[in-house]
């Protein structure tokens, strides 16, 4: 290489650094592996806002999506509420249940939230915070995907999207029922 051609190494020297930073997008620093993945889902019985009991055990044999939320959790919970409702309507006939667990909230604010978004899947308050402790939640929203045998198979931190729900739920539905 001639002496003058070497000078183009100056701009070229920036490329590895830029490539390294671009690589950073492939990884998610917020992904906190949950030790619960692969373990049986902690059982719970709560009372839904409409007064009906909500029991995880009763859903055995179905794929369960447990979503922890709060009415003050703006904007993430506001963003994912329509997603959850859509998913529930799309999948309920295929053996999928969505359960909303409202934590650190007041009943009134939570009921307004459920009403404003027209949520029709079972939603219950976790008044003592016991369920959220059992599931080791760091914040809201967090969502757990539970297979037909009652084991936690995946955990999602942050607002759900249709794509995220589809990937996890379809995978669990594809597994043999037994």
Partner 1 sequence: MIPELGYGAAIVALALALWGAVTAALGARTGRPALLLSAQHAAVGVFVLVTACFALLTYAFLTFDFSVRYVATNTNLGTPFYYRITGVWGALEGSIILWAWMLALYTVIVILRHRVSARAFYPWVLTVMLGVLAFFLLVMTVAAPPFARSSPVPADGRGLNPLLEDTGMITHPVALYLGFTGLTVPFAFALAALITGRVGDAWITLTRRWTIVAWYFLSLGLLIGGWWSYHVLGWGGYWAWDPVENAAFMPWLTATAFLHSVMIQERRRMLKLWNLSLVILTFGLTLFGTFLTRSGVIASVHAFTQGAIGAFFLSFLALVLLTALGLLAWRWDALHAQGALDSIVSRESAFLLNNVLLVAVTFTVFFGTVFPLLSEVARGVKVSVGAPFFNQVNVPLFLALIFLMGVGPLIAWRRASLDNLRRNFLAPVLVGVVAAAGFFALGVRSAIAVLTLALTVFVAATIAVDFARATRARLRVGERLFPAMRGLLLRHNRRYGGFVVHLGILIIAVGVTGSQAWSVQTETTLRRGESAELAGYRVRFEDLTASEESNHFKVAGAFTVSNGRVLGVLRPAKKFYPQEQSPIAYVDYRLGLNEDIYLVLGDFARDGSQATVKLLVNRLVSWIWIGGLVLTLGALLAILPERRKGA
Sites of contact with partner 1 (CB under 8 A): 4, 7-8, 10-11, 13-14, 18, 20-25, 27-30, 72-75, 78, 104, 109, 112, 116-117, 138-139
| Cβ-based nearer residue to partner 1, 7 or 177 | 7
Structure tokens at 154: 């995946």
Q: CB–CB of 131/55 below 8 Å?
A: no
Q: In the complex with partner 1, which residue's Cβ is closer, 77 or 172?
A: 77
- Minimum distance from CB of 61 to partner 1 (Å)? 33
In the complex with partner 1, the residue whose CB is nearer, 65 or 159, is: 159
Rounded to the nearest whole angstrom, what is the least distance from the CB of residue 106 to partner 1 in the complex? Answer: 9
User: Taking a C-beta distance cutoff of 8 angstroms, is the pair 45, 80 a contact?
Assistant: no
Spatial separation of the C-alpha atoms in residues 37 and 33, rounded to whole Å = 8
Q: Identify the burial level of 173 via C-beta atoms within 10 angstroms of its C-beta, where 0-12 means exposed, 13-18 middle and 19 or more buried.
A: middle
Q: From residue 111, how far is each of 139, 166, 167 by CA, in Å? A: 20, 27, 30
Query: What's the closest the beta carbon of residue 142 comes to partner 1, in angstroms?
Result: 11
Q: Which is nearer to partner 1, 7 or 174 (CB)?
A: 7
CB of 103 to partner 1, least distance (A): 9
């Amino acid at each position: 290489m001639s002496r003058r051609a070497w000078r183009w190494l100056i701009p070229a020297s920036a490329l590895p650094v830029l490539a390294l930073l671009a690589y950073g997008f492939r990884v998610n620093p917020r992904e906190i592996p949950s030790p619960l993945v692969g373990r049986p889902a902690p059982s719970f019985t709560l009372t839904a806002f409409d007064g009906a009991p909500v029991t995880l055990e009763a859903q055995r044999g179905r794929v369960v999506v447990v979503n922890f939320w709060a009415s003050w959790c703006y904007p993430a919970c506001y963003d994912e509420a329509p997603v959850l409702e859509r998913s529930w309507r799309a999948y309920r006939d295929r053996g999928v249940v969505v359960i909303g667990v409202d934590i650190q909230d007041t009943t009134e604010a939570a009921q307004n939230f459920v009403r404003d978004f027209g949520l029709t899947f079972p939603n219950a308050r976790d008044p003592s915070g016991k369920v959220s402790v059992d599931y080791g939640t760091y914040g809201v929203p967090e969502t757990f995907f539970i297979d037909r045998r009652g084991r936690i198979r995946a955990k999602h931190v942050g607002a759900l999207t249709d794509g995220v729900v589809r990937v996890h739920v379809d995978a669990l539905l594809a597994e043999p029922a037994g």
